[in-house]
Structures are given as C-alpha cells and as structure tokens.
Amino acid sequence: MKYGYFDDAALEYVITTPKTPLPWINYLGNKEFFSLISNTCGGYTFYKDAKLLRLTRYRYNNVPYDNNGKYFFIKDGDTVWNPGWQPVKTALDSYECRHGLGYSTFTASKKDIQTRVLTFVPMEDNCEVSKVTITNNRSTDAEIQLFSYVEWCLWNADDDMKNFQRNLSTGEVEVTGGGSVIYHKTEYRERRNHYAIYGVNTAVDGFDTSRDAFLGAYNGPDSPDAVAAGACTNSIASGWSPIAAHQINVKLAAGESKTFIFTLGYIENPEDQKWEAPSVVNKKPAEAMLAKYQDEASVDKALEELKAYWKDLLSIYHVKSSNEKVDRMVNIWNQYQCMVTFNMSRSASYYESGIGRGMGFRDSCQDLLGFVHLIPDRARQRIIDIASTQFQDGSAYHQYQPLTKKGNSDIGSGFNDDPLWLIAGTSAYIRETGDLSILEEMVPFDNDMSVAKTLMGHLKCSFDFTATHKGPHGLPLIGRADWNDCLNLNCFSEHPGESFQTFGPSEGPVAESVFIAGMFVKYGEEYAQLCDLTGDHAEAERARAEVKKVYDAATTAGWDGEWFVRAYDANSNKVGSKECEEGQIYIEPQGFCVLAGIGVKEGLAEKALKSVEERLDTKYGVMILQPAYTKYHLELGEVSSYPPGYKENAGIFCHNNPWVSIAETVLGHGDRAFEIYKKTCPAYVEEISEIHCTEPYVYSQMVAGRDAKFHGQGKNSWLTGTAAWTFVNVSQYILGVYPTHNGLSINPCIPEGFGDFEITRKYRGATYNISVKQNGAQKGISKLIVNGKDIDLSGAKADVVSGGALIPYEEGVTEYKVEAIMG
C-alpha cells in the first residue's frame, strides 16, 4: 500500500494523506541553518548544531508522536484547522504534502478555503521562509483568521529539557512593528551574541510571545485559547516559555488569494555591536534579512536559486536506463540523502534527538564516500575537521560537536575501526578530485596545532594504529567495538544503565575483529596507492607487506570453513562461527572481506557469499547475523541485548547490504548484486509502505529481521551510512563508473535483461557522456571507444579489486564520448 507517489519530473515525493504510518519528514537547509519538517508540519530548527543552537522546541517521546512544529492555524467561523492537519487534526477536504529537495509544500482545503504553504531555507540566509497563500474558492466573501505559532527553545536543547529551575526564569523577548516581528533574546544579555526572529511581512492584528497566554496553561497546540477566542493577547513573555505567534485577520473576496511571508531567522552580532540601546538588541542585521523576503517575487526567486543549485548538483552523476526506479533513486533521492547525512552525520532526525551524538568519526568518513562528487570542497574541509580530532597514536575521538569541532570526551575513543575510515574518506576525495595537496595540509591532533602533522602523516598514524594493535591471531584488536557498535567484546557490563560504548576498558589485548582485517586490506591498499602517488614507494611497499600479513590472518584464523569468522572474543573464542550456538554467521566480514578482495582467488569469497544467501537472506534484505541471540551474552555486549530480529541482533541492517552487493559485483554476479540492491531500495519498497512504515524516498538504518514480530518494518530513517554506501554500490559498482587516481573507469555489473543505459558524469572539469551496451553480459567490458578511438584494454586495470576499463585522460579535453560494450 502506498500513501503517495513519486513525481520525478518535479523531483518531489507527493504524500496524499497526513496519516502516514510514521511522520514522513524532509530536511530544509543546505549549509548551516537547518529544519526538519514532517508531512504534518512537525519538526524543529537549529543553526549549525542541533544540541547547542536549537531555535525551536520539539518534544521527542511525545504523545501523539509528532508534536510541536511551526504551525499555522486557520480560524474560519467556529472551525479551526491547520494546513498540515496537525496539531488540531480537523478533517480536511483535501490535503497534499510535497517534499522536494530542500523545500516542502502543503496544500489543503476546508470548506472552500484553500491554503498553500511553501517552506524552505534560502541558499544565502540563515532563515526559513514560509510563504502562505490563502484562497477563497467560495462564491461569497470570506473573513477568516490566520495564526502562526512557534515555540522557542532556549538554545541548548539538552539543558532546555532538564534545567527548569533556571530556565523558567531566563526567557526574554522583544517585539517590533506592532507585533509583526518577534525577537527571542534569551541569554543575549550575558554570553550569547545571537538571537532568533519570527517575522511576517504585514501588519498584524495581534501577537503573543507567552506560551501560556496563547495556548492557555492547560492546553496544547491542538487547542490554543487565543485561536478559539479569535484574538491574541499581545503578551510579552518574561521567563516561562517564550513563543512567537501572529494573528492576521484576512478578508477575501470570492476567488481572491492573499499571500503572507513568514521568516524564522538566526542572527549573530559582533560582540561590540550587540545593543542599539540599553537592553535593546541591535536589530539591523535582522531587519536586513527580513527586508529580503518581503514580497512573493523575492521568495520565488530564492526558491528558484535553491532548485537551480540542486539541478546543478544532480547533473554530476545522472543515469538514464530503462528502469525508472533505479533512475529516480540514483538521480534524485539517494544523492539527496547523501547530502543530508553529510550535513547531519547522526545528529538530528526523528530518531536521533540532536542532543546525543554530534558528528561521528566513522559515520562522517563514510558519508563522504557518497557526497564527495557533489561538493568536493566541502568534503575537503570535513576531512580536515575529522582528522583534527585524531590522537597522535592514530586512534580518534569517536564523535565531535559540529559547533566547536572538538572531540567529545564523554564517549572518548577506542573504536578501533575509526582510524581506517579516515583513509577511506581521503582516498575517495583524491580519487574524485586528483587534489593531492590535501595530503600536505598541516592538521592538528586533538585540535592542538602544536603537535600538527600533514594529513598524510595522519593517514600513516591511522594505518600504523591497526598494524600495531593486533591480537593473538594476528588480526586487528577490536577495542570498544568496530563498525558494529554493539559488539562490545571488552565490556562485560552486568548492570543496567551502563553504556555499552563506554563501560569497561577501552581495549583488551585479546579480542580481535575480522571485519577490521577486511578494512585494513582494503584501506591499507588505498593508503599504499597514496604513498605511491606521493612518490614514497618504500612506504607503499611496507604498507603492502603489512596488508599481506593481515590478509593471511583473515584467510586462516579468520576463516570458518564456509564463511568468515566475525571476531575472537576476550577469551579468544570465535564469534560468528559454526562453533557458536547463536550468532553463527555475521554479514560484515562476508561483505567487507570480499569487497576488499580477500579470498577471491582462493575460492573462499564465493563460499562466503553463498552462505550469506543461504543463511542471512530474507525478502526484505540481508540480516546482520543468524541465528539471533536469544540470551544476553556478557562477553558480547549490546548485540545480544536487543530482542531477536531488531537492530544489531539479527535485524536487516541496511548499511551492510550494499557491502554484500558490492562483493557480488566483485565476483561478477550481476543478478544477485541487483537483487540485494532492490530489496532495501526505497523506490521498490514503496509498494509495501504499510509494512515498511518509514519514508519511501530514503533509506532507513534498519528493517526488522525474520525473528522480529514486525518483520519488514523500517526504523531510524534518514541518518544512516546506508545512503552513502548504496550510492557507492549502485553508481560505482553496479552501474560501474568508478573514480580511480588515473581517471574514470567503467566496469558495470548488472542483472540479465537490465538493458543498455547512459550515464553523464562530470569529473575533474570534464563531462563524460557514457553509453553502455549490455550485449548479453552481466560483467566485463569487451570494447571501449572514447571520442571515436578504440582503447586497448589489455593493460587497463582500474583498481585492485574491480579491474575496470580506464578511460584515458587527455589534457585539455573537456568532453568525452564513451561507448562501452560489455561482454
């Protein structure tokens, strides 16, 4: 069952009922000012950091689920309704929400009064603009009222929901223009140099800034007193809960429309220009911002700029195949989600509260893989920011705050996969851009510039960390956990409430990870390639010798007979082995070792993937492990804490499905690679939205596994490494346009009957118009013609694993016509 449809021409998903199984959200903002917005106008806004600079309040864990947003109310006689249905939930005569790239629209009607709300964050300003158009479709005049409502958060979202003894006394506001512009200035009198505004481009008939005055002390936003009464009270908040609400009385002749523009903005003033008079904030920058969005034409122009920005970004990788679902995911939604994960890391979604995690070291490094082609300059900066939170021994803070860019000491370090992801991200950036200068950038350790090294020096630290932290089997030590945060082999937590991620020693000398071994083989080779590129062949040789040792350990101690072992625990017992009672096989080492090329020539890879198919596959995707843990295993940690079928305990963790799909392409299995791609692909899952529940245009972190009561149900949509890895899989391995250090290579691996396809790829200043003829094959290029010239394919090996056909780069050529014939 569907609750909407894709409008590919408009680059939108159209939701046709407010009652979706879960809130279906969108993200507004591309740079530093962001809003989350659901299909019923729920959500919140922040600047740069969802924890430290939160503009508006949201109540996670609320009943009903999605409560608090930036709401508009229409009062039409005795009827009160909202253009997004919530919070009053008056039945609407029509409703449509369109989520586009960085904007959303809500069109609704009740008793022949129609509203259209367009909301977005303009490219150039730190504000969210909402254009509200009300149309009277009656044959008679209408007199209605429009109310706006936002509830301010007192900036630090964590403190805001805990520290009431202070916070109920700190709230302060100012009002200008008779209430048209409301200033939220809590804590501005002391250490803050920023305030927020909510303004409308018209004179108002009333306003409120005190929540109790507007709602009534015993009401929620579903029944505001002021709306029921048809009159705001012009309240000036002092402490308690400041809000911003406008009241506009609207007279509309038959057929007439009127438009109002609301601007919710963030303003910073220099320290010496904070005040225009004692206790009166300097409003000049706010007025300048508001002045830009006074009329419809300027709002429409700003929206066009946003659309043009996205059109441009999406022209960098564009496919045209005979498969509309693949095209819509590759060309629109998958890349859009990659941008959102790049911006948010794992901080703010409807499942991440914005106060828990900031930027994840491993998460953000992986997000780069799916984002780097879009805006390489931003990727470059991100790599430097991430590397700045590394320690001198190569280990790293697991997370950092986006505002301060400082490592988060609450969680600390000890996640032993982290260092290697830095190589992954840097290598992807250089393969995309050819910009080796990044390796020469001086980058601090733990933000301390006095101990800076070049980025290349950091990568060496990353590499050496793994090379020098190995256990009894010559496999890398796991530390607190590797990619699987829940495999806590040194934790031994016996008491509820202890964090699995921080309890116990950060590292034991015994517990080892075969997954990190796979990473070391893959990213160790990518490190060696960077050494070669910078002329340090001795270091490249040393690196390859270290990689070889770990490769050998992975194919011996890391091999279980039919698949790769997952790990060795603190007692050197196997995890993810046929010897285990539960958790006999895990997905991660099967996918990652094979995509790294481990066991391909020995025939182990083939066996491992066959075991995955036999033991882990379901119709909704590949589960992370089997059999599920039914008991808590002290020696394994959080993985066994989840009920069977959920999350890391045998859920379908979408993030590592693309690893297995890529692994299948390494072996040339186009049918199977695509089958795996399809199972978790939102556009394919759209048809079962009532089972899947989360948004059908983006990936979720997890789909409940076979052991779960709600098998097939998605959770944790949006902020997941699935976005980047799936884009890497489909764009670089399935469709097969892979950026190497020497240029683009072509090496598709597609299912039988997929058919011919075309790709436009902008890369290092040139445009590649690539046409691929399937010619009955699933993998392999037999002929490559570039700008009319037949290319000799005999020596062309694109990268160590996939060995594609390299398109020779020619100095000064900016258009490449590429014809690739498979077979």
Residues marked active site are found at 485
Of 53 and 486, nearer to ligand BGC (C-beta) is: 486
- For tokens 């306003």, the residue is 207
Closest distance between ligand NOJ and the C-beta of residue 492, in Å?
19
Of 24 and 646, nearer to ligand BGC (C-beta) is: 646
Number of residues that bind ligand NOJ (CB under 6 A): 9
Closest distance between ligand BGC and the C-beta of residue 132, in Å?
39
Q: How many CB atoms lie within 10 A of CB 244?
A: 30
Stretches 254-262, 422-430, 484-492, 666-674: which one binds ligand NOJ (CB under 6 A)? 484-492
Q: Measuring CA to CA, how many Å separate 670 from each of 623, 776, 778? A: 20, 12, 5
Which residues, listed in sequence order, are joined to residue 119 by a DSSP beta bridge?
A: 104, 130
Closest distance between ligand BGC and the C-beta of residue 386, in Å?
17
Closest distance between ligand NOJ and the C-beta of residue 87, in Å?
31
Residues 234 to 273 in contact with ligand NOJ, rule: CB under 6 A: none
Of 545 and 634, nearer to ligand BGC (C-beta) is: 634
Residues 585 to 614 in contact with ligand BGC, rule: CB under 6 A: none
Q: Measuring CA to CA, how many Å separate 299 from each of 128, 289, 293, 369, 808? A: 11, 12, 6, 34, 45
- Interface with ligand BGC, residue 341, by CB under 6 A: no
- For tokens 């705050």, the residue is 401
362 binds, among ligand NOJ, ligand BGC, none (CB under 5 to 8 A by kind): ligand NOJ
Contact residue for ligand NOJ among 333, 421, 483, 659 (CB under 6 A) = 483
Q: Measuring CA to CA, how many Å separate 281 from each of 45, 53, 138, 252, 275? A: 22, 18, 45, 37, 5
Contact residue for ligand BGC among 235, 493, 501, 729 (CB under 6 A) = 501
* Structure-token pair, residue 747: 């090496």
Residues 623 to 652 in contact with ligand NOJ, rule: CB under 6 A: 648
Of 317 and 646, nearer to ligand BGC (C-beta) is: 646
Q: What residues contact residue 792 under an 8 Å CB cut-off, 6+ apart?
A: none
Closest distance between ligand NOJ and the C-beta of residue 564, in Å?
18
* Structure-token pair, residue 168: 């109920």
Of 160 and 638, nearer to ligand NOJ (C-beta) is: 638
- Find the length of the chain: 823
Number of residues that bind ligand BGC (CB under 6 A): 6
Dist. CA 322–CA 335, nearest whole Å? 19
Of 719 and 822, nearer to ligand BGC (C-beta) is: 719
- Interface with ligand NOJ, residue 480, by CB under 6 A: no
Closest distance between ligand BGC and the C-beta of residue 363, in Å?
8
Cβ burial 761-799 (10 Å sphere, 16+ → b, else e):
bebeebebebebbbeebbbbbeebebeeeebeeeebebb
Q: Which of 94, 38, 46 lies closest to 66, judged by CA?
A: 38
Closest distance between ligand NOJ and the C-beta of residue 648, in Å?
6
- For tokens 């072992």, the residue is 565
Stretches 481-489, 494-502, 608-616, 689-697: which one binds ligand NOJ (CB under 6 A)? 481-489
Q: Measuring CA to CA, how many Å separate 313 from each of 241, 370, 374, 630, 745? A: 41, 13, 6, 46, 21
Residue 746 near residue 805, CB atoms below 8 Å:
yes
Output the DSSP codes for 395-412: -B-SEE-TTT--B-TTT-
Closest distance between ligand NOJ and the C-beta of residue 341, in Å?
10
Contact residue for ligand NOJ among 283, 346, 373, 679 (CB under 6 A) = 346
* Structure-token pair, residue 445: 């350790």
363 binds, among ligand NOJ, ligand BGC, none (CB under 5 to 8 A by kind): ligand NOJ
The alpha carbon torsion through 500, 506, 511, 513 (nearest 10 deg) reads: 80
Residues 279 to 298 in contact with ligand NOJ, rule: CB under 6 A: none
Of 481 and 735, nearer to ligand BGC (C-beta) is: 481
Residue 69 gets which letter from DSSP? B
Closest distance between ligand NOJ and the C-beta of residue 703, in Å?
14
- Interface with ligand NOJ, residue 96, by CB under 6 A: no
Dist. CA 715–CA 700, nearest whole Å? 6
501 binds, among ligand NOJ, ligand BGC, none (CB under 5 to 8 A by kind): ligand BGC
Of 186 and 501, nearer to ligand BGC (C-beta) is: 501
Instruction: Please classify residue 341 by burial: count the beta carbons closer than 10 Å to its beta carbon, then call 0-12 exposed, 13-18 middle and 19+ buried.
Output: buried
Closest distance between ligand NOJ and the C-beta of residue 615, in Å?
20
Of 483 and 699, nearer to ligand NOJ (C-beta) is: 483
Of 486 and 698, nearer to ligand BGC (C-beta) is: 486
Q: At what angle do helices 361-371 and 418-433 cross, to 10 degrees?
A: 20
Q: Which of 622, 619, 630 lies closest to 583, judged by CA?
A: 630
> For the window 449-488, what string marks contact with ligand BGC as x by the rule CB under 6 A?
------------------------------------xx--
Dist. CA 206–CA 187, nearest whole Å? 26
Residues 627 to 646 in contact with ligand BGC, rule: CB under 6 A: 638
Of 347 and 713, nearer to ligand NOJ (C-beta) is: 347
Closest distance between ligand BGC and the C-beta of residue 426, in Å?
23
Residue whose Cβ sits closest to ligand BGC: 485
> For the window 362-381, what string marks contact with ligand NOJ as x by the rule CB under 6 A?
xx------------------
418 binds, among ligand NOJ, ligand BGC, none (CB under 5 to 8 A by kind): none
| Element (DSSP H or E) covering residue 444 | strand 442-445
Residue 212 near residue 171, CB atoms below 8 Å:
no
Of 351 and 697, nearer to ligand BGC (C-beta) is: 351
Which residues, listed in sequence order, are joined to residue 262 by a DSSP beta bridge?
A: 130, 200
- Interface with ligand NOJ, residue 360, by CB under 6 A: yes
Dist. CA 295–CA 292, nearest whole Å? 8
Closest distance between ligand NOJ and the C-beta of residue 629, in Å?
15
432 binds, among ligand NOJ, ligand BGC, none (CB under 5 to 8 A by kind): none
- Interface with ligand NOJ, residue 485, by CB under 6 A: yes
* Helix, strand, or coil (residue 192): coil
**What is the β-pairing status of strands 766-773 and 815-822?**
parallel
Of 310 and 415, nearer to ligand NOJ (C-beta) is: 415
Residues 647 to 686 in contact with ligand BGC, rule: CB under 6 A: 647-648
Q: How many CB atoms lie within 10 A of CB 10?
A: 12
Dist. CA 91–CA 89, nearest whole Å? 6
Residue whose Cβ sits closest to ligand NOJ: 485
Q: How many CB atoms lie within 10 A of CB 351?
A: 18
Closest distance between ligand NOJ and the C-beta of residue 722, in Å?
10
Q: Measuring CA to CA, how many Å separate 757 from each of 346, 373, 734, 745? A: 34, 21, 12, 16
Binding footprint of ligand NOJ on the chain (CB under 6 A):
346, 360, 362-363, 483-486, 648
Binding footprint of ligand BGC on the chain (CB under 6 A):
485-486, 501, 638, 647-648
